[in-house]
Amino acid sequence: MSAGLRSGQVSEATGVNVQTLRYYERRGLLAEPERSNGGHPLYGEDAVTALRVIKAAQRLGFTLEEVTELLEAGRHRHGHPPPASRNEPRRSSPT
């Protein structure tokens, strides 16, 4: 696996605290991150982009539910699957 960003680095880059980062994962706004050999979450640049979009939408007055819908619509339009949530099993790709 390629190197990713640790929670603190993502937090610093986006202004989102680590607890909020975890909350967004549970809500399905962010994909569950890969893990380092030591079990630490490692995020990709796509997580930083998603967090910046989330915060910008909130500044414009969107609720988290509306932001979720916007992100899902964008992923659908661009052919990306929704992030896997801890509350639902990961789906395998059709072969």
> Quick one: CA torsion of 74, 79, 82, 22, rounded to 10 degrees?
-70
- Cβ burial of 48 (10 Å; 0-12, 13-18, 19+) is middle
Please report, rounded to a whole number, the percentage of residues in the chain having pLDDT higher than 90: 66
Whether 69 shows a pLDDT value over 60: the answer reads yes
**pLDDT of amino acid 41:** 93
**pLDDT of amino acid 84:** 54
Residue with tokens 């399905």: 28
**pLDDT of amino acid 74:** 80
Give the pLDDT mean for 66-73: 90
Which residues have C-beta within 8 Å of that of residue 25, sequence separation ≥ 6? 31, 32, 33, 83, 85, 86
Indicate yes or no: pTM above 0.75. Answer: no
